[in-house]
């Protein structure tokens, strides 16, 4: 069935998506860089350890593989530090997840929000975007 404009009616609302819609809670390279320089939050890289060794890592980030995020954010701060080598973010602290290209960091963001981290965000550009900026500078 078509409407007056000749478009198919599906019973679903049509909606245009902008990058802001797709990346709610997203941060840019510049925002991550400022956060790290100012030490204004925690950056967690959710890639597997071998990926960091092979491709590189964002300096100052903590590696917590995606499959461990739920457990890690429930640890006591001293347990987190011992296991992951960095300070555990408090629930009110700014927390940014990153990965290779934004897919896993989005999943980590959703998990953190469910666990009560309202200031959690993710870096959709991930390592690929970071490396592009850092290599060009």
Per-residue HEC secondary structure of the chain comes to: CECCCCCECCCCCCCCCCHHHHCCCECCHHHHHHHHHHCCCEEEECCCHHHHHHHCCCCCCEECCHHHHHHHCCCCHHHHHHHHCCCCCCCCCCEEEECCCCHHHHHHHHHHHHCCCCCEEECCCHHHHHHHHHHHC
Q: Greatest CA separation found in the chain?
A: 64
Is 23 noted as a catalytic residue in this protein? no
Among 58, 73, 88, 99, which one carries the catalytic annotation? 99
Task: Tell me the catalytic residues.
Answer: 99
């Amino acid at each position: 069935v078509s409407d007056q404009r000749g478009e198919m009616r599906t019973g679903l609302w049509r909606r245009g998506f902008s990058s802001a819609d797709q990346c709610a809670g997203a941060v840019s390279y510049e925002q991550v860089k400022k956060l790290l320089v100012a030490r204004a939050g925690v950056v967690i890289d959710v890639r597997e350890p071998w990926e960091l060794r092979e491709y590189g890592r964002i300096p100052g980030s903590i590696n917590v593989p995606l499959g461990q995020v739920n457990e890690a954010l429930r640890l006591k701060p001293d347990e987190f530090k011992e296991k992951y080598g960095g300070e555990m973010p408090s629930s009110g602290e700014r927390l940014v997840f990153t990965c290779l290209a934004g897919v896993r960091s989005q999943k980590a963001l959703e998990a953190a929000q469910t666990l009560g981290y309202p200031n959690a965000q993710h870096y959709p550009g991930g390592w690929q975007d970071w490396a592009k900026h850092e290599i060009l500078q």
